[in-house]
Amino acid sequence: MHPEIQDIVRKALAEDIGSGDITTNLCVPAEATATGRMIAREKLTLAGVDLLPLIFPECIVALTRRSGDRVEDGGEIAVVRGPARSLLTCERTALNFVQRLSGIATLAAAYVRAVEGTRCRILDTRKTTPGLRRLDKMAAAAGGAVNHRMGLFDAVLIKNNHIIAAGGVRAALERTRNAGVPVEIEVRTHEELDEALACGATHLLLDNLSPEEAKRWIVHIHGRATVELSGGITLETARAYAETGADFLSSGAITHSARAVDINFRIE
């Protein structure tokens, strides 16, 4: 498990437990043992179950399902056996992670299903919860989305404000020629589009176009560059955008607006 994720789990447990779980420690004998079953209470795409051994270090964790699995309502996700106090103290942290991350995976999977049969793939974005990006992107990938850049350090994405600050499309592209990482540029007008193509751009971001406009632009591009569409693309409109011939659709909603799914942890 990545050290960053281990650190996130440690902080989450410390945030909740603090100086100790006074309710559990007062109510439950130290020698008591128990079994906890994590159960889906709606259809979902699972993510985050790989964290359970970190969250319950004193327990035996048996995963019934894996991240990326589709689980039906009532489906068992994991069984945790060990000290009753450990199960009770850590159950909320476990549910917070698995419910939230499975919500992201479930929404990502819905977008992926919406574009099935087209050449288009779904991308996630940097619109993640601060401090949880690696987990958010793991969950998006579990749902079938393609991880875009992890941060500002692993790819070039020239947006509107970069173009303005650099002095234009040509200036921005020329300064990134030897970046050694993938380079993508956003274009807002046909003039910027043609200038970017003339400068050898290989990856274009078209933002806030209607499906009809996007299709015309993609016909004009005629395979000279990979095309990503973004800007307010919803589950209801994803299919129309995918059928324009775009290579990718990106949606910040996958990580910033996913609803936590309903999962239960039953102690026996």
198-229 pLDDT, tens digit each:
999 999 999 999 999 999 999 999 999 999 99
Annotation marks residue 175 as catalytic: no
Name the nearest CA neighbour of 228 among 199, 263, 252: 252
For residue 1, pLDDT over 90 is answered with no
Name the nearest CA neighbour of 87 among 66, 61, 51: 61
d(CA 224, CA 247): 12
Q: What is the mean pLDDT of the chain?
A: 97
Which amino acid, one-letter code, is at 244? T
Residue 222 belongs to what domain range?
116-256
One domain for residues 150 and 241: yes
Whether 94 and 55 have beta carbons less than 8 Å apart is answered as: yes
Name the nearest CA neighbour of 187 among 174, 203, 165, 171: 203
| Tally of CA atoms within 13 A in the half-sphere of 241 that contains its CB | 27
pLDDT tens track for 107-164: 999 999 999 999 999 999 999 999 999 999 999 999 999 999 999 999 999 999 999 9
Position 102 scores a pLDDT of 98
One domain for residues 152 and 100: no
One domain for residues 145 and 251: yes
| Cβ neighbours for 224, distance < 8 A, ≥ 6 positions apart | 197
* Mean predicted confidence (pLDDT) in 35-41: 98
One domain for residues 71 and 137: no
One domain for residues 206 and 104: no
One domain for residues 223 and 234: yes
- The distance of Cα 175 from the centroid of its chain, to the nearest Å, equals 31
One domain for residues 103 and 219: no
SS3 124: coil
Q: The domain spanning residue 190 has which CATH number?
A: 3.20.20.70
The runs of H, that is alpha helices, within 70-166 are: 84-114, 133-142, 160-166
Catalytic residue among 92, 113, 175, 188: 92
Annotation marks residue 113 as catalytic: no
Whether 52 and 66 have beta carbons less than 8 Å apart is answered as: no
One domain for residues 136 and 105: no
> Which pTM was predicted?
0.95
* Mean predicted confidence (pLDDT) in 158-176: 96
Percent of the chain's residues with pLDDT above 70: 100
pLDDT tens track for 220-262: 999 999 999 999 899 999 999 999 999 999 999 999 999 999 9
Catalytic residue among 91, 186, 192, 228: 186
Annotation marks residue 7 as catalytic: no
Whether 228 and 250 have beta carbons less than 8 Å apart is answered as: yes
d(CA 135, CA 171): 36
Catalytic residue among 70, 81, 133, 159: 159
One domain for residues 171 and 215: yes
d(CA 97, CA 47): 9
For residue 20, pLDDT over 90 is answered with yes
Catalytic residue among 127, 170, 215, 216: 127
One domain for residues 105 and 209: no
Annotation marks residue 215 as catalytic: no
Q: How many domains does the chain have?
A: 2
One domain for residues 53 and 9: yes
Annotation marks residue 73 as catalytic: no
Catalytic residue among 76, 195, 207, 243: 207
One domain for residues 154 and 245: yes
